[in-house]
Amino acid sequence: MTAGGGPRFIGRPWARVDGPGKTTGEARYADDLVLPRMLYGKLLRSHLPHARIVRLDTSRARALPGVHAVITGRDLPVRFGIMPTSQDEEALCLEKVRYVGDPIAAVAALDEETAERACEAIEVEYEPLAPVMSIEEAVAETSVRVQEHGDGPVPNVHKNVSLEFGDVAQGFAQADHIREDVFFFQGNTHLPMEQHSAVAQYDAAGRLTLWTSSQTPHYVHRALAKVLGLPMSRIRVIATPVGGGFGGKSDPFSHELCAAKLAVATGRPVKITLTREEVFYAHRGRHPVLMWLRTGVRRDGRITACHIKTFLDGGAYGSYGIATTYYTGALQTVTYKIPAYKFEGTRLWTNKPPCGPKRGHGTPQPRFAIEAQMDKLAEDLGLDPVAIRLANATEPFTRTVNHLRITSNGLRECIERVAEASGFRAKHRRLPFGRGVGLAVSTYLSGAGLPIYWNDMPHSEVQIRVDRGGGVLVSCGAIDIGQGSDSVLAGIVAEVLGLAPSEIGLVTADTDLTPIDLGSYSSRVTFMAGNAALEAARKMRELLVAAASAHLEVEPDGLVVGDHRIHAAAQPERGVTFPEAAALAEARFGTLVTVGSYRPPRLAGPYKGSGVGPSPAYSFSAAVVEVAVDPATGEVRPQRVWIAHDIGRAINETLVIGQIEGSVYMALGEALMEEQVFRKGLHKIPSMLEYKSPTFLEMPPVETILVVTDDPEGPFGAKEAGQGPLLPVIPAVANAVYDAVGVRIDEVPITPDKVLAALDQAARGGVGRVGPRRVPPFRFRDPIKVEPPAGWSVPWRRGLPVAGGAPGLPDDLPTGTAPSDARPRDREAPEEP
């Protein structure tokens, strides 16, 4: 059996399936839900950054007319947290508050205004504690403890890791040139347009249902069961369409647990919608990271060793922070062949809203550092930014020194094509003062190789049911957060069954009705749910073809699944329509249900900490940004962005380009204006007006180049697009600013005052740099020493000189790669479904 005439949708642009609902106001987001007898909930939040709760008196609030329930930490004493190793959150603080905004009580009332008045009527007496507000304070502070748990050696250390791969000392010894640089990446937040919202209902039969704007309904399900003490089988979590997530709705949240508890307490549905200010407190955004980076290179630009230290400002709770910490060290080796690599990282507790995963999770910060440093190294060596990156770029089907398996890899092509399209070589160092171009590259996961909690089950499951009328219903736990997962599921199934995506029915993200998907995080859905959908769809197609084959008396191999028909390849008129095939198949096999599931291959390396970083496939990107810098005002205006992205293969080109443009947008915001800053223990600017998010007028044109590499394990060869393209843009801006006006802003965001300060410095004969000078003294753990993967030492590619190549290189230096066991697939059209 063959498909008729190549893919009809895969690899091409087509309309999103959720478009009609989202353009008509029909789509129902969590805050749009209203249930009969519904009450409105509100959280009382701490107004101190760090304090012990001495007394909490809710009696006045309870006495207010219209108030139906008031709960405190005593009602929900069980701790939770997204990572099994950091169960440090309380739905409502019991003894201590740790940041301004930490919730301490919750109210359910007839309307929101009454709930708010009730919150004001709650009396709280605090004993204030000294707040810890920065990385430096957290490292230095010895008497004040933000959290009870930690890794040492000082009290406010959440995590302390150290890993060494290969012989780093020897690597540096072999370098012709070594640089050390210090960088700072300020924290920032997701700022989804939709404020978080959840509605809970506890029915007469004792079942709890929670509708919530969440990227991870499964993890919310688990947290609800744990904190409320109900079996998972009595809880149903339904994720509503998410009005923007970007990682910010991936944790179980206090308001979700409180809405559920209040619903149980009152026997009435309860809705809690956060205000914008509360969304800033819920946070889980980009960690501020201070970084020290030391890299050794040979004269030809090839890296001999790299050592990075990262200091993460984690805020007051764990969230995904352990993973974030490892991510600041994990992926540098995936873009560059680094033969010896050392990573030391620490996450620190501070009295600020907890940081967590934001688009690129832990990798944009070190990516900013390494890409800025690559340009500095290139300049030191007299190389150009393209050449030094090509000299170090990793190859397809290799392993990195930290045991990450790379499959398809279009990095080289990305660099070459983006340089070409932007005219980089003609522009770099050649544009007039005030204009500049910058280049940077990156990589990202197509889904984390391991789930959040240890288990052996699939990460994604899909069920397809075909009814006798030819209707197709796809059920999957995946939640569309705007990235287009509904369209991906529909598109894959439609392609395999010869239908159109808009004809596929979807039930998603409902723990009662849909098989599992772990959630819309780590760019995993297209890859994992996509593979599960592909498997289920192929099984369904087999059933339909078998039935059609018996009916038409044509061998299955002689049949074609075409446009809404199954017919003989040789005689197109000899066939059945899709509904006819469905009826025939149902008659023959009974209920038509097929399932598919996906579990990534075992990829973790042989060391503790190897769980973060592995992915079944990596996307690669390269970006060039052209900027105009006004030397009198320091303002940086991006003029145009060129970005090449190794997508494997696009399931839907429209969606992929949309993800890339959205990533570029978010990256420009982070590079130039967005920052989560604090003053006197408070978030300085928790509003949409003062937290600067780029408007239409700040967005430059973007030229997107899709590089097709057909990943052997991705569905139809697809890899991720939602996060990777953000990564290269931020350092590319920094590099472009340097090219434009000759100053280095080694700190994000690159605000006009910093540019001006650096220009002043340069004018006075200084170096023209703004950025941190040093990292604080800190005792990292003794490193876990890890041997590179087997087969590691392969000769330098002899006879392949790079610009400025150094003569007489020994033959047996490690290259920074080892062959991997994955094999390329045929580089033809996407595999026949």
Partner 1 sequence: MLRLPPFTYLAPRTLEQAVGQIGEAGPEGMLVAGGTDLYPNMKRRQFEPKVLVGLRGIRDLGRISGTPAQGLAIGACATLAQVASHPAVAEGYRALALAAGAVSTPPLRNMGTLGGNLCLDTRCNYYNQTYHWRKSIGFCMKKDGDICLVAPGSPRCWALSSTDAAPAAIALGARVRLVGAGGERVVSAADLYRDDGMRYLSKAPDEILVDVILPPADGWRSTYWKLRRRGSFDFPILGVAVALRSGPGGVIEDARIVLGAVASRPVVATRAAGLVMGQRLTADLIGRVAQAASEPAKPLDNADLTIGYRKRMARVYVERALRELAGLPYDGAPGGAR
Partner 2 sequence: MKVALTLRINGEARDVIAPVHKTLLEVLREDLGLTGTKHGCELGECGTCTVLVDGTPVLSCLTLPVEVQDREITTIEGLARGGELHPLQVAFTELGAAQCGYCTPGMLLAAKALLDRNPAPAREDVSAWLAGNLCRCTGYLKILEAVELAAARARGDAPQPTGDGGPPAARVPQRSGGAS
Binding region for ligand FES (CB under 6 A):
193, 244, 482
Looking at residue 353, the DSSP 8-state letter turns out to be P
Bridge pairing between strands 435-445 and 157-165: unpaired
Residue in the block written with tokens 């050649």: 430
> Mind giving me the DSSP string for 310-338?
EEEE--SS-TTHHHHHHHHHHSHHHHB--
The tokens for 724 are: 């990777």
Dihedral angle of Cα 468, 469, 474, 479, to the nearest 10 degrees: -150
Ramachandran area for residue 720 (φ above 0: left; ψ -120 to 50: alpha; else beta): beta
Bridge partners of residue 163, in order along the sequence:
343, 784
Taking the least distance from each CB to partner 2, the nearer of 70 and 641 is 641
Selection from partner 1, ligand FES, partner 2, none that 292 binds (CB < 5 to 8 A by kind) is none
Q: How far apart are CA 301 and CA 375, in angstroms?
A: 11
CB 411 within 8 A of CB 393: yes
Region 28-47 residues binding partner 2, contact defined as CB under 8 A: 28-29, 31-32, 34
> Minimum CB separation from partner 1 for residue 195, in Å?
9
Bridge pairing between strands 678-679 and 682-683: antiparallel
The tokens for 190 are: 């997701």
Binding test (CB under 8 A) with partner 2, winner from 174, 188, 195, 508: 195
Selection from partner 2, ligand FES, partner 1, none that 703 binds (CB < 5 to 8 A by kind) is partner 2
Amino acid at 631: P
CB 374 within 8 A of CB 335: no
Contact pattern for partner 2 over residues 745 through 774, marking x by CB under 8 A: ------------------------------
The tokens for 138 are: 């957290």
> Minimum CB separation from ligand FES for residue 697, in Å?
16
311-to-338, 365, 612, 678, 784 alpha-carbon distances in Å: 22, 11, 17, 18, 18
Contact between 194 and partner 2 by CB under 8 A: the answer reads yes
Selection from partner 1, partner 2, ligand FES, none that 686 binds (CB < 5 to 8 A by kind) is partner 1
Q: Which residues of 367-377 are buried (b: 16+ CB within 10 A; e: fewer)?
A: bbbbbbbbbbb
Contact between 741 and partner 1 by CB under 8 A: the answer reads no
Binding test (CB under 8 A) with partner 2, winner from 177, 234, 539, 640: 640
Q: How far apart are CA 735 and CA 745, in angstroms?
A: 9
Q: How far apart are CA 523 and CA 720, in angstroms?
A: 6
The count of residues interacting with partner 2 (CB under 8 A) is 70
Of 11, 7, 6, which is closest to residue 706 (Cα–Cα)? 11
In this chain, which residue has its C-beta nearest to ligand FES?
193
Contact between 28 and partner 1 by CB under 8 A: the answer reads no
Binding segment (CB under 8 A) for partner 1, from list 73-81, 249-257, 628-636, 642-650: 628-636
Residue in the block written with tokens 């933000």: 146
Taking the least distance from each CB to ligand FES, the nearer of 193 and 800 is 193
Region 540-559 residues binding partner 2, contact defined as CB under 8 A: none
Q: How far apart are CA 748 and CA 754, in angstroms?
A: 10
Taking the least distance from each CB to partner 1, the nearer of 104 and 418 is 104
Contact between 827 and partner 2 by CB under 8 A: the answer reads no
Region 101-140 residues binding partner 1, contact defined as CB under 8 A: 112-113
Contact pattern for partner 2 over residues 687 through 706, marking x by CB under 8 A: xxx---x-xxx-xxxxxx--
Selection from partner 2, ligand FES, partner 1, none that 673 binds (CB < 5 to 8 A by kind) is partner 1
Of 176, 173, 172, which is closest to residue 804 (Cα–Cα)? 176
Taking the least distance from each CB to partner 1, the nearer of 276 and 429 is 276
Binding test (CB under 8 A) with partner 1, winner from 695, 800, 810, 821: 695
Contact between 787 and partner 2 by CB under 8 A: the answer reads no
Binding test (CB under 8 A) with partner 1, winner from 21, 470, 579, 752: 752
Give the Cα-Cα-Cα angle 798, 799, 801 (nearest 5 degrees): 105
H or E element that contains 618: strand 618-629
Of 269, 134, 126, which is closest to residue 209 (Cα–Cα)? 269
> Minimum CB separation from ligand FES for residue 482, in Å?
5
Q: How far apart are CA 560 and CA 97, in angstroms?
A: 64
> Minimum CB separation from partner 2 for residue 110, in Å?
13
Taking the least distance from each CB to partner 1, the nearer of 205 and 689 is 689
Helix residue spans in 567-684 (DSSP H): 578-589, 653-672
Contact between 633 and partner 1 by CB under 8 A: the answer reads yes
Region 225-284 residues binding partner 1, contact defined as CB under 8 A: 273, 275-277
Binding test (CB under 8 A) with partner 1, winner from 21, 66, 155, 694: 694
Contact between 751 and partner 1 by CB under 8 A: the answer reads yes
Using CB under 8 A, list all residues that contact partner 1: 45, 47-48, 100, 112-113, 273, 275-277, 630, 632-634, 637, 673, 680-687, 689-690, 692, 694-698, 751-753, 756
Using CB under 8 A, list all residues that contact partner 2: 8-9, 12-29, 31-32, 34, 190-195, 241-246, 275-276, 481-484, 500-503, 639-640, 654-655, 657-658, 661-666, 687-689, 693, 695-697, 699-704
